Structure 1
Amino acid sequence: MSDTHRFELPADFTWGTATASFQVEGAAREDGREDSIWDTFCREPGRILDGSNGDQACDEYHRYPEDISLMKEMGVGAYRLSVAWPRIFPSAQGRLNQAGLDHYRRVLDMLRDQGIKPVVTLYHWDLPQYLQDAGGWPNRDTAKRYAEYAGVLARAFGDSVDTWTTLNEPWCTAYLGYGNGAHAPGIRDYDRALATVHHLNLAHGLGAQAIRAELGDKAWVSVTLNLQVNRAESGSEEDLAAKTRADLFANEVWLGPMLAGTYDQRIREAAQGITDWRFVREGDLETIHQPLDVLGINYYSTNHVQARRIGEGSTQAGVGPQGSLPDQEANAMPAQESVETLPPRGELTAMGWNQEPRGLTDLLLEVSHRFPDLDLMVTENGSAWEDEVSPDPSQPGGKIVHDPKRVTYLEQHVRAVAKAIQDGARVTGYFAWSLLDNFEWALGYTKRFGLIRVDYPTQERIWKDSGRRYARIVKDNAI
């Protein structure tokens, strides 16, 4: 499909946009909410690039009616949001916070009233601090507490949720949170990182069971993975082996247990000397391997890897989407001493990531070929750039952001999705990241991904050309 051809998406294709609770909500001390690991992390000097925090963020906790109106104007049919676990169970005593449930009930009802399907992520990184104090994700009990939380939300919200997403990007939680320490809770211990991998897998399985125990087969259950597209720099045996090694820890630690009920034996072999796998118990893999109605895939860029040359000191397998500070990218995954990630090439986004739309096409086709009966959704895709506000001549006193590079990125990646569908991939939806500029984790407010600009001091929402372009794509259901 060349760029000059028009491709119409399937009539039932879902167009959406996405945010995450800690990145947009604010209201950190309201209605009973207590600290998450990210509140704690933000208070530690030097952790966040600009010294900021999520106390106010985009104030979406109060401004969600305005933001839902923006979605309605954009024309999207779905909104991917996350629930803040510390709003639902704020304390270690397990007391249910009704004010938290009531807030999300109001949001879900308003979305439904506007004809926008809620796609709800149960865990988008904001673990309650009291659970971290008890050991966090390396502690098996956290997966059990997660299942209780998932069951409560399923019982409370029922049919109001269109799709239940158990986890967002567990790769980041495990390797950035507990491996290289670039994300909350800031721990550097690969044994604990691999325990976290397993307990996140277990939480996914237990959570899916809890949701279906409440809602039965009518519950539409998903998980979102930031599967990495690792490109071998050459066809040499050594470079292909480096790619395989990177794939094992980036992708297979999730795909194998969740979709096939097994860990690839090569993962265990590669992690020798790091962990003894004592945290994997009999019956766990059967619990993890739950039926999925849809697999969410987050995609931003690719990694080009080669075998590490002896004596060369360059980065090891680095971070993917929503990653860490540039100087913290090395050593993101365990047992990668033989893998070298090459510097990205071409025009880079403000995150320092390359632009390779073909990687999205290849990824969707590869996953569809491997799991032919599984529907896929692109649950995040977008780019950060240095934006400037300009006067909008179409309205007196109005403002606009002209962001041609984000428009180009958007168009190229929607075309990449269309190409994958044309070639046989089972892709049922696309969610642009993000509806709003927001708190970009360890980078604070220094990077902007939004289709809508947020002026943080005033909380004014300002349209960008990319938001208007996305609205046209959605309206046309074509690219």
Structure 2
Amino acid sequence: MNFPNNFTWGAAAAAYQIEGAWNEDGRGPSVWDVFSQTPGRVFENHNGNVACDHYHRWREDVALMKELGIKAYRLSLSWSRIMPDGTGAINEAGLKFYDELIDGLLAAGIQPWVTLFHWDMPQALQEKGGFLNRDMADWFGAYATVVAKRLGDRVKHWMTINEPPVIVGLGYQEGVFAPGLKCTHQECLLAAHNLLRAHGSAVQALRAHCVGPQQISIAHTSREPIPATRADADVEAARARYFGCVEERMWNLAWWADPIAFGKYPEEGLKNFAGKLPKITDADMALISQPIDYLAYNCYSGFKVAANDAGKAVDVPNGHGIGNARGTLPWLSIAPDAIYWAARWQTERYNLPIVFSENGFCNTDFVQLDGKVHDPQRIDFVTRYLDAVSRAIADGADVGGYFYWSILDNFEWAEGYKDRFGLVHVDYETQVRTPKDSFYWYRDLIARNGALS
């Protein structure tokens, strides 16, 4: 495997999944506090009240990151820790926490890559409609302004929002994630439009109030079709499927990415969703299409497709094989070609460098009798995916970095603490951290800039 000398090796986590301290030091409730504390919403009624107690143990966690040798750490901020009601009053204790965390990272030689919003909407704003309220762009812009003024002298890499398809698709349409709504497709298109406007407002705020040049993006995700063969027909059918806007679910990548990159929604989507679209103004599109500096993308798995006689992509039944290798979550089939094609197709379409802001493997890791955590499947998974990234770079994709998800085992949303993605095992009863075999493997890989030996 070969990677550029300036390749960014990192790891990632999100505020609600690790911080805990859900009602301490002035933090207001978020939609995930309300959702996870509602019986029946989360596996075994787990919640993020304590999580990894990172709020109190961040120094220990930063020391682990330093030992790991990562060059960058992708973290998110808890909006309601900084602004308990989402607007208005600012909580100094919350800003102080992130001040100290960022200073600690920089002192350890680790660059903070900050995500403004990773799903934990302040409950007070959700009660005003959340992303269904057009005012969200103003609320989010004001929040971004507060953050930029406080942290923008030290933070140089930003992501505005994490995974819009999950926020709107799972949170507003399917109701399996917070806030747990069951909205119509028309309502979801409105929420999507307001989310993109909020992104644009945040980009403006970061540009206006940070110190010096900034690298800004939004962290997209989708579902990756993988061509069944390298035949041109299969590749082109898969590419068309990847950027298509046909399904009335929220996973259409181009519906989210094209407005930012090109200042307009895809024509296919405008045609297919006609009659359900919100009012879209030129001013809206100018706001949404504020220039970004790179693509951030979260990639885990994919599904195989082949071209039919009409050149359209059709799913290949059992495309990865019956009993295929997979993680403990049902959607995580091991499919490294997903990350290869994501890198190729996105950099070709949008003409920007790409950073993989999440990629990782979930398993049922536990501390074994020898006191260690042996996770060879994770090592194998990351090797396969990084090899695919290396191949994409060799084939012309401009890939600038890779962030393993996650640095710590953590609260895996509606799955609670059942599935473990971390390089570090967390005993949630004692909060003892145990680096896994993959931790030491990744440390050595980073030291070699991705060379296997």
Task: Provide TM-score, normalisation by structure 1.
Answer: 0.86
Question: Take 2:317 and 2:179, find their aligned partners in 1: how far apart are those partners?
Answer: 28
Question: Take 2:404 and 2:196, find their aligned partners in 1: how far apart are those partners?
Answer: 26
Match of residue 49 from structure 2? 55
Q: 1:390 aligns with which of 354, 368, 375?
A: 368
Match of residue 313 from structure 1? none
3-state SS, counterpart of residue 411 of structure 2: coil
Shift in CA distance, 52/196, structure 1 to aligned 2, threshold 3 Å: same
Match of residue 396 from structure 2? 424
Instruction: Render the CA deviation track for 1:417-470: whole Å, top value 9, x for unaligned.
Output: 111111111111110000000000011111100010000000000111111111
The letter for the 2-side match of 1:85 is: W
Is 1:224 aligned to 2:225, yes or no? no
Q: How many residues align?
A: 434
Q: 2:163 aligns with which of 161, 166, 169?
A: 169
Q: 2:326 aligns with which of 348, 353, 357?
A: 348
Is 1:259 aligned to 2:261, yes or no? yes
The letter for the 1-side match of 2:359 is: N
Shift in CA distance, 233/245, structure 1 to aligned 2, threshold 3 Å: farther
Shift of 1:230: 2.2
Is 1:181 aligned to 2:181, yes or no? no
Match of residue 277 from structure 1? 278
Instruction: Render the CA deviation track for 1:365-414: whole Å, top value 9, x for unaligned.
Output: 11111233x1211110001012131244xxxxxx2111111110011111
Match of residue 345 from structure 2? 366
The letter for the 1-side match of 2:334 is: Q
Instruction: Render the CA deviation track for 1:92-142: whole Å, top value 9, x for unaligned.
Output: 661011111011000000000010000000000000000000011111111
> Relative to structure 2, which stretch is displaced further, 449-458 or 151-160?
151-160
Instruction: Render the CA deviation track for 1:19-51: whole Å, top value 9, x for unaligned.
Output: 000000000011100110001111222111221
Show structure 1 runs of 5+ residues with no match.
1-6, 308-337, 393-398
Shift of 1:303: 3.1
Instruction: Render the CA deviation track for 1:283-332: whole Å, top value 9, x for unaligned.
Output: 1111111111121111000034699xxxxxxxxxxxxxxxxxxxxxxxxx
Match of residue 301 from structure 2? 301
Question: Take 1:73 and 1:45, find their aligned partners in 2: how far apart are those partners?
Answer: 39
CA contact (8 A) 1:90 1:128 kept: yes
3-state SS, counterpart of residue 165 of structure 1: strand
Task: Provide TM-score, normalisation by structure 2.
Answer: 0.90
Question: Take 2:339 and 2:217, find their aligned partners in 1: how far apart are those partners?
Answer: 19
Instruction: Render the CA deviation track for 1:41-62: whole Å, top value 9, x for unaligned.
Output: 1122211122111100000001
Shift of 1:223: 1.3
Shift in CA distance, 418/233, structure 1 to aligned 2, threshold 3 Å: closer
Question: Take 1:276 and 1:341, find their aligned partners in 2: how far apart are those partners?
Answer: 32
**Cα root mean square deviation, aligned:** 2.4
Question: Take 1:341 and 1:207, find their aligned partners in 2: how far apart are those partners?
Answer: 40
Shift in CA distance, 209/245, structure 1 to aligned 2, threshold 3 Å: closer
3-state SS, counterpart of residue 79 of structure 1: strand
3-state SS, counterpart of residue 159 of structure 1: coil
> Relative to structure 2, which stretch is displaced further, 284-293 or 341-350?
341-350
3-state SS, counterpart of residue 54 of structure 1: coil
Percent identity over paired residues: 40
The letter for the 2-side match of 1:433 is: W
Match of residue 292 from structure 1? 292
Shift of 1:266: 1.4
Question: Take 1:246 and 1:228, find their aligned partners in 2: how far apart are those partners?
Answer: 13
3-state SS, counterpart of residue 188 of structure 2: helix
Q: 1:199 aligns with which of 181, 194, 197?
A: 194
CA contact (8 A) 1:246 1:339 kept: no
Question: Take 1:343 and 1:54, find their aligned partners in 2: how far apart are those partners?
Answer: 36
Is 1:377 aligned to 2:355, yes or no? yes
CA contact (8 A) 1:242 1:339 kept: no
Q: 1:160 aligns with which of 147, 154, 159?
A: 154
Shift of 1:342: 5.9
Question: Take 1:400 and 1:87, find their aligned partners in 2: how far apart are those partners?
Answer: 35
Question: Take 1:436 and 1:249, find their aligned partners in 2: how far apart are those partners?
Answer: 27
Is 1:150 aligned to 2:144, yes or no? yes
CA contact (8 A) 1:165 1:222 kept: yes
Question: Take 1:195 and 1:450, find their aligned partners in 2: how far apart are those partners?
Answer: 35
> Relative to structure 2, which stretch is displaced further, 179-188 or 91-100?
91-100
Shift of 1:214: 0.9
Shift in CA distance, 159/223, structure 1 to aligned 2, threshold 3 Å: same
Question: Take 1:444 and 1:438, find their aligned partners in 2: how far apart are those partners?
Answer: 8
CA contact (8 A) 2:327 2:361 kept: yes
Show structure 2 runs of 5+ residues with no match.
308-312
Match of residue 135 from structure 1? 129
CA contact (8 A) 2:425 2:435 kept: yes
Instruction: Render the CA deviation track for 1:172-204: whole Å, top value 9, x for unaligned.
Output: 001111111111111111222111111111111
